[in-house]
Amino acid sequence: MNLLEVRDLEVTYPSGAAAVRGVDLALASGEKLGIAGESGCGKSTLALALLRLLPAGTRVGGEILLDGEDVLAMKWGRVRAVRWAGASIVFQGAMHSLNAVHRVGDQIAEPILLHRRATPAGARKKTGELLEQVGLPAARADAYPHELSGGQRQRVMIAMALACDPRLVIADEPTTALDVMIQAQILRLIERLVSEQDLGLLMISHDLAVLADTCDRLAVMYAGRVVEEGPARQVYEDARHPYGRALSEAFPRIGDPASRFAPRGLAGDPPDPSAVPSGCAFHPRCPVALDLCGTRDQFLRDAGPRRRAACVHLDARAGAPEAETTEDDVRSSTP
């Protein structure tokens, strides 16, 4: 059984923004899955939906199975327990997630006391062990967040995420705010902890290069959908979908926050989720769009061994009659 299975997930915010539109994903224990895509493609919405952290009034459809248990059908008490012991999230920007007026040790110990029903002495001991696991001396438990560097604070966030021995760690842009050296250290730390403890890792980033380096498999999101997925290196080096290709052709600019807004060579922005274009949502920006792309929706289908993508050109490659692609159909350059 997969550790995580997401089936036909749909998320619509109260504003009407359809931020996730029919996502299927699966993750085995010990596996590292990367989710890539430009700003606004629905990556964080997907992560928040997995642990039911979305704002009240948000409509969520489909199924989320964590260790076979349907997260969307859980009672709130069970959801709270699952948020620490089943799966936990490491967010970007540790300074904003940590409470400035409490010592970091107390913040790590809190879920251990609450969810593990540990004694104060037991929680303190576990906190020291967790800090050492993430490469900080146990004595740093007494520090306040402002007394730590950005990298150290992110290590504290990772220690906190591991506090109740979760089976799945969701890391949403865990290193984007850090400089290149610290970013590499944190990525190696996450990789090591995940493989030592046989956890599942769902890592979100706009940076395909970082994900290709860290993850086993990669899913590329565009306008709330997964448009391509497969073995991480293959997707990065030889994307099947024009959007995946545009992302991977973007210069790997680790630590450059401006790069999240548009990959190099691709004009425009992802669509507003309240007004997603008809047909293939990528068609207004696609350099190889056909006339039919504006009306015909595209869904993931086989694109090679263990690979899937959602593009009409795949049918042409396979010689399927459905697309009937000709040279004249291509509006501009070929892929």
Ligand X SMILES: Nc1ncnc2c1ncn2[C@@H]1O[C@H](COP(=O)(O)OP(=O)(O)OP(=O)(O)O)[C@@H](O)[C@H]1O
Return residues touching ligand SF4 (CB under 6 A).
241-242, 280, 282-283, 286, 288-290, 293, 298, 311-313
Nearer to ligand SF4 among residue 32 and residue 285 (C-beta): 285
The reply on whether position 19 binds ligand X by CB under 6 A is yes
Stretch that binds ligand X, among 37-45, 245-253, 277-285, 303-311 (CB under 6 A): 37-45
Partners of 21 in the β-ladder: 10
Select the binding partner of residue 87 from ligand SF4, ligand X, Mg ion, none (C-beta < 5 to 8 A, by kind). none
Smallest distance from Mg ion to CB 197, Å: 25
Give the up-direction half-sphere exposure of residue 265: CA atoms within 13 A in the CB hemisphere: 11
Nearer to ligand X among residue 40 and residue 230 (C-beta): 40
Smallest distance from ligand X to CB 40, Å: 4
Q: How far apart, in whole angstroms, are the C-alpha atoms of residue 297 and residue 21? A: 12
Instruction: Measure the CA dihedral 124/126/132/136, to 10°.
Output: -40
Q: Looking only at residues 29 through 48 of this chain, which bind Mg ion when binding is defined by CB under 5 A?
A: 44
Select from 4, 21, 44, 152 the one that contacts ligand X (CB under 6 A). Answer: 44
Strand 18-27 relative to strand 59-66: parallel, antiparallel, unpaired? unpaired
The reply on whether position 13 binds ligand X by CB under 6 A is yes
Smallest distance from Mg ion to CB 189, Å: 21
Strand order in 225-231's β-sheet? 87-90, 168-172, 200-204, 32-36, 217-222, 225-231, 308-309, 301-302
Nearer to ligand SF4 among residue 86 and residue 242 (C-beta): 242
Quote the DSSP letter at residue 53.
Answer: -
Strand 301-302 relative to strand 225-231: parallel, antiparallel, unpaired? unpaired
Select from 5, 9, 42, 98 the one that contacts ligand X (CB under 6 A). Answer: 42
Select from 4, 27, 32, 45 the one that contacts ligand X (CB under 6 A). Answer: 45
Reference 90, options 208, 176, 31; nearest CA is 176
Token duo for residue 99: 């409470």
Q: How far apart, in whole angstroms, are the C-alpha atoms of residue 214 and residue 221? A: 18
Smallest distance from ligand SF4 to CB 147, Å: 49
Nearer to ligand SF4 among residue 68 and residue 332 (C-beta): 332
Smallest distance from Mg ion to CB 172, Å: 6
- 67, amino acid identity: D
The reply on whether position 240 binds ligand X by CB under 6 A is no
Q: How far apart, in whole angstroms, are the C-alpha atoms of residue 284 and residue 40? A: 16
Q: Within 10 A of 332 (CB to CB), how many other CB atoms are there? A: 8
The reply on whether position 51 binds ligand X by CB under 6 A is no
Sign, CA torsion 273/97/53/6: positive
Select the binding partner of residue 311 from Mg ion, ligand SF4, ligand X, none (C-beta < 5 to 8 A, by kind). ligand SF4
The reply on whether position 281 binds ligand X by CB under 6 A is no
Smallest distance from ligand SF4 to CB 210, Å: 24
Nearer to Mg ion among residue 42 and residue 200 (C-beta): 42
Q: How far apart, in whole angstroms, are the C-alpha atoms of residue 197 and residue 253? A: 30
Binding site for ligand X (CB under 6 A): 13, 15, 17, 19, 37, 39-45, 55, 206, 260, 273
Binding site for Mg ion (CB under 5 A): 44
